[in-house]
Amino acid sequence: MDIARQDVLEALRKVKGPELTGNIVDLGLVSEIVVSGASVFFSLTVPAERAEELEPLRAAAEKAAMSAPGVEKASVVLTASKKAGAPSRAVRPGPSAAQAGDVPPPMAARAARPAPQAPPARQGVPGIGAIIAVASGKGGVGKSTTAVNLALALQANGLKVGVLDADIYGPSMPRLLHISGRPQTVTGRILKPMEGYGLKVMSMGFLVDEETPMIWRGPMVISALTQMLREVEWGELDVLVVDMPPGTGDAQLTMAQNVPLAGAIIVSTPQDLALIDARKGLAMFRKVDVPILGVVENMSYFVCPDCGGRHDIFGHGGARDEAERVGVPFLGEVPLDMEIRTTSDGGTPIVVASPDGPHAGVFKEIAERVWARIGEERQMAGSPAIVYE
């Protein structure tokens, strides 16, 4: 049955606020409720200095949400608000309501405080041979277009490929791959990925309406990313391409620190302004020990369709020079071309729309270099290389 957000809100109104007065809904502590199949996701905003003390409040909210009709799983995180000038702090979920013995929040607070934990190990995803991140230091450089065409080119080269759209705030894959609808629940909380052009795909864009803003703080983003990666029936894949959001924030650190990435690809345009941010992305992945598979220069040049003249609108060769400077491979140049733009907007990426054309050829060459780099990294790490025929 479909879950009504109003039913969840009514259930949450039974949970008293931090001072045992009012309820968490009317006090404005509950974020937007996201529904996915039989699961609901939301956060509670609490004062930073009381975050750990109010962990039982999170457990009580989770239990209340589970009582709403149709809800089989509830994922609730505490998001700490902050005072002016004070750093904000996110709190990881602790014991469930059952573990806390259903004791009212003030009485259970001290007993429910979680013990310090070591940094999480990078656990692989069953069935997925390699996970690669496609990232950029800033938006507007064509990262998502590059990611989807790279995934399709890897598939054209004989691999089984999936795509995880990790850009929570601006998911692009539903439009790029012309996929609509909601994922189905396979069993319990496990979702079946959507499919487009032979790719298995998961995106926040399938779970919320296209025009709905995702007004989430870091903990909600981390929770959503983890569930889209680990609670999806991906099946057997040679490679999962992760379209990262721009920048070096929570989503990038979550993937880099919690997932055994086979490597990262940095997408940049040639001009200096984009390269400044690309350097930050390179530095971040290196600091968390993620191999850099290489750099792609997107919008590298423009060939006039009327006169045939070549124009370096954003400059040219900046990404190649930067790759050489920092000692990482340069994977290739993708031109600025109207056909790439129109096919992407139309939901038929260039590798599908014109598989034998020159632009698809560029992406296939990049895909070959990427897969060769993964093999090289595995050999250096002492693992057997994987090749395709």
The predicted-structure confidence for 331-343, as pLDDT tens digits, reads as follows 999 988 889 989 9
pLDDT at 116 over 70: no
Whole-angstrom distance, CA of residue 275 vs CA of residue 157 = 30
pLDDT at 165: 93
Q: Where in the chain does DSSP place strands (E)?
A: 34-36, 39-47, 73-81, 90-91, 128-135, 161-165, 185-187, 190-191, 194-196, 199-203, 237-243, 263-268, 292-298, 302-303, 310-311, 330-334
Candidates 171, 131, 168, 181; CA nearest to 151 is: 131
Candidates 68, 53, 54; CA nearest to 24 is: 54
Could you write out the DSSP letters of every residue in 113-130?
A: PPPP-PPPP----TTEEE
pLDDT at 240 over 80: yes
Segment 150-154 mean pLDDT: 97
Whole-angstrom distance, CA of residue 167 vs CA of residue 145 = 13
Whole-angstrom distance, CA of residue 228 vs CA of residue 22 = 34
322-370: pLDDT as tens digits: 888 888 999 999 988 889 989 999 999 999 999 999 999 999 999 999 9
Tokens of 164: 């995880």
Residue bearing tokens 């007004």: 215
pLDDT at 1: 58
pLDDT at 265: 93
**Helix/strand/coil for 321:** helix
The domains located in the chain, with CATH, are: 5-108 (3.30.300.130), 128-380 (3.40.50.300)
pLDDT at 215: 66
pLDDT at 44 over 70: yes
Handedness of CA 351, 355, 357, 361 (dihedral sign): positive
DSSP character for 74? E
The pLDDT-based confidence of 29 (bands split at 50, 70, 90) is confident
b/e per residue 172-193 (b: at least 16 CB within 10 A): bbbbbbebeeebebeeeeebbb
pLDDT at 119 over 80: no
pLDDT at 370: 95
Whole-angstrom distance, CA of residue 248 vs CA of residue 361 = 31
Question: Ranked by mean pLDDT, which of 148-152, 216-220, 281-285, 331-335 comes out on top?
Answer: 148-152
pTM (2 d.p.): 0.70
Segment 260-284 mean pLDDT: 82
389's CB contacts (< 8 A; 6+ apart) are 158
The pLDDT-based confidence of 96 (bands split at 50, 70, 90) is very low
pLDDT at 213 over 70: no
pLDDT at 87: 40
Tokens of 244: 């990262």
Question: Cα-flanking dihedrals φ and ψ of residue 330, to 5°?
Answer: -100, 120
The pLDDT-based confidence of 170 (bands split at 50, 70, 90) is confident
DSSP character for 181? S
pLDDT at 155 over 90: yes
Write the single-letter amino acid at 145: T
Question: Ranked by mean pLDDT, which of 55-64, 90-99, 131-140 comes out on top?
Answer: 55-64
Give all strands of the β-sheet with 194-196 in edge-to-edge order.
194-196, 199-203, 161-165, 237-243, 128-135, 263-268, 292-298, 330-334
Distances (CA, A) of 231 to 39, 187, 196, 234, 282: 11, 10, 19, 9, 29
174-210: pLDDT as tens digits: 999 999 888 888 887 788 999 999 999 999 888 877 7
**Helix/strand/coil for 26:** coil
pLDDT at 163: 97
